[in-house]
Amino acid sequence: MVHVFFSGALKAVTNGVARLELPDFAEGDLDTLLRSLAGRFGPSFSDRLTEDGHLRRYVNVFVNGEDVRFARGLQTPVGPADSVDFIPAVAGG
Amino acid sequence: MGARKAKGRKSEITLEELADEGSLAAALTCEECSTLFPLDARTACDRCFGPLSVVYGHGPLRGTSPDEVLAGRAPGLWRYLELLPPVSPASRERVPLGPSPLRPAPRLARALGLRELWLKEDLALPSGSFKDRPAGFAVAYARDLGYPAVGCASTGNLAAATARAATLSGLPAWTFVPAGLPEAKLLPVRIFGGGIVEVEGTYDDANRVAQVLADEDRLGLVNINLRPYYVEASKTLAFEILEERHWDPPAVWGIPLGSGALLSATFRALMQVQDIGWLDSSEEELPRLVGSQPEGCAPIAEAFRKGSEEIVPVAHPETIAESLAIGNPASGYDALGAIRKTGGAADAPTADEVRWALREAARLEGVWSEPAGGTVLATFKRLVDQGTLDRSDSAVAFLTGAGWKTPPVWEGQDLGPRLRVSARERSLTLPDLAAFPSLAGAAAHGEV
């Protein structure tokens, strides 16, 4: 089961959903997961997170706590029992 | 602006009433896509996740002079209320602050190769760092919004400042820090009554964990869901320098870069007073902003040095300047843009250069800064040696944190003689301190 967390900044497009469990998500990558979530929440979900096929500059996605920018970006593997956090990169200092 | 009520307080306050308190803040705007939002608690842009900043309507201040507007007001953070988001008088009164000293440092100026140097000593603020400004402001704002508790993600300084502001404001505080910080950074948090959550990982990990919990626990995290307001208060550092120098500031301003928020706020402060007409200069004539990061965590300085538009995050920062160990700087692009727009520069000195600068400041000017301030001073030295800064320049260095917070920086370093003698000692010959290599730096200037 993949566990997904959405920051409050995304709640407008997740209908207020902050946490989601995806028992049926098969082995894939972040891109696959985003497509699956866009199927559930609509295309505006993807528009918030990606631009021209890349994660937007101020979007941080963590798979099991690791920033996907330090992994393989949208091709970062996501599998059952993984946790994925979508968080804006606007904190710090 | 809507008539939204601040929640959870006995005497509810409307935003209109807050605006009547003098603030000229009008809205939040997304720095990426320019979408406008009301002045509420909001982490990021709903549309693109971009950072938010406060926009102001300066109209009422145009044509005024700063002397006329500021006359009769108490010194400190709340003196510049028109140029900050609105906070009720009741919340302001609970968190008095500042100003910090600005003083000339002629001997250190000579050591760095500058004609004139000023030290802005925010290390003298109550919790030992400039974070007393944004934390004090954001906690007051959180109180007006009715948050039941506040907190922050921190490399240490902000945790202490948030705990202090929270106890003054009558709110509990939870601080999220990377595990393994020096006790000297955590002790003030506990003394001020704050709770500590040590996250096993880096600052960026602590930040992520705090964000996940804040969303669910209605926690007013000053540098996360109150960040647009939090960063505004850092502008007061610039306002104080400008006012003290009678609106004729030093030409070069050296600022440490962690998230980049302080440098960005400084630039916004300069733009504000220029727009109002209090600072008589074109953009080309604004003070040049020099950003400093330590080697081992320098994503903004690297982008500047390479002439790159992209800031590449650092996954595992390694530096003695823990307060600057932010690998993924949230205001990095803003800061980089401000450095370039003002004709400034950025660099990343080594740990040895930072220690040298810290000791020079201590011995020549009697100021003990934490490494963030040493990073600024060491950057000045580098840039003078490279010819990027002119020896005729006047400069101000932002000393943002106190040295007593960072004892690990000095572990294993040669700090001069330390003798232990018997209580019956009668024939000790004290050595010549100037003969010790570790003290030679200051002595070489003939000033000690």
pLDDT in tens, A9-22: 788 888 888 899 99
Which residues of chain B carry a pLDDT beneath 70?
Answer: 1-21, 215-217, 282-284, 437-448
pLDDT for B432 equals 87
pLDDT for B213 equals 82
Interface contact flag, A87 B211, Cβ < 8 Å:
yes
Q: Output the CA angle A62-A64-A68, nearest 5 degrees.
A: 35
Give the B window 203-262 contacts with A, CB below 8 Å.
203-205, 207-208, 210-212, 215-216, 221, 223-225, 227, 258-262
Q: Where are the domains of chain B?
A: 102-126+234-410
% helix, strand, coil for chain A, step of 5:
30, 30, 40
The interface pTM score, or ipTM, of the predicted complex is 0.84
Q: Using CA atoms, how far apart are residues B381 and B365, in angstroms rounded to an integer? A: 16
Q: For chain A, what is the radius of gyration of the CA atoms?
A: 12
Per-residue CA distances from A75 to A3, A7, A33, A55, A90 (Å): 18, 22, 10, 11, 23
Q: Using CA atoms, how far apart are residues B219 and B147, in angstroms rounded to an integer? A: 7
pLDDT for B182 equals 87
Tell me which DSSP letter residue B99 carries: P
Q: Using CA atoms, how far apart are residues A8 and A20, in angstroms rounded to an integer? A: 13
* Alpha-carbon gap: B260 to the closest alpha carbon of chain A (Å): 8
Show the DSSP H helices in chain A as ranges: 30-41, 43-49
Q: Using CA atoms, how far apart are residues A89 and B181, in angstroms rounded to an integer? A: 23
Contacts of A19 (CB under 8 A, 6+ apart): A3, A4, A5, A6
For residue B32, the chain A residues in CB contact (below 8 A) are 57-58
pLDDT for B379 equals 98
Q: Using a CB–CB cutoff of 8 Å, tell me whether A7 touches chain B.
A: yes
Out of A18, A48, A58, name the one closest to residue B51 (CB): A58
For residue A7, the chain B residues in CB contact (below 8 A) are 43-44, 211, 215
Q: Using CA atoms, how far apart are residues B276 and B344, in angstroms rounded to an integer? A: 23
Dihedral angle of Cα B323, B329, B334, B340, to the nearest 10 degrees: 80
- Name the one residue in this structure whose structure tokens are 């600068």: B357
β B252-256/B288-292 pair status: parallel
Q: For the segment A30-85, what is each residue's pLDDT rounded down to a tens digit?
A: 999 999 999 999 888 888 888 888 888 888 899 998 899 889 999 999 998 899 99
3-state secondary structure of B427: coil
Cis peptide preceding B437, ω within 30 of 0: no
pLDDT for B2 equals 34
Length of chain A: 93
Q: For the segment B285-332, what is each residue's pLDDT rounded down to a tens digit?
A: 899 999 999 999 999 999 999 999 999 999 899 999 988 988 989 889
Out of B50, B208, B215, name the one closest to residue A58 (CB): B50
Residue of A nearest to B156 (CA): A93
Q: Using a CB–CB cutoff of 8 Å, tell me whether A43 touches chain B.
A: no
Which of B292, B241, B271 is CA-nearest to residue B117? B241
Q: Using CA atoms, how far apart are residues B88 and B70, in angstroms rounded to an integer? A: 18
Q: Does the A2-88 domain belong in CATH 1.10.3720.10?
A: no
Interface contact flag, B49 A58, Cβ < 8 Å:
yes
pLDDT for B322 equals 87
* Alpha-carbon gap: A86 to the closest alpha carbon of chain B (Å): 9
CB atoms within 10 A of CB B340: 14
pLDDT for A13 equals 84
pLDDT for B446 equals 45
Q: Using a CB–CB cutoff of 8 Å, tell me whether B35 touches chain A.
A: no
Q: Using a CB–CB cutoff of 8 Å, tell me whether A17 touches chain B.
A: no
pLDDT for A45 equals 87
3-state secondary structure of B86: coil
Helix axis angle, B371-386 to B351-365, nearest 10°: 100
Out of B158, B262, B330, name the one closest to residue A90 (CB): B330
* Alpha-carbon gap: B439 to the closest alpha carbon of chain A (Å): 34
Q: Using a CB–CB cutoff of 8 Å, tell me whether A18 touches chain B.
A: yes
pLDDT for B393 equals 92
CB atoms within 10 A of CB B90: 14
Q: Thinking of the domain B102-126+234-410, which architecture would CATH place it in?
A: 3-Layer(aba) Sandwich (3.40)
β A50-51/A28-29 pair status: unpaired
Give the rounded distance of the alpha carbon of B286 from its chain centre: 20
Show the DSSP H helices in B173-309 as ranges: 183-191, 203-217, 227-230, 235-244, 261-276, 299-306
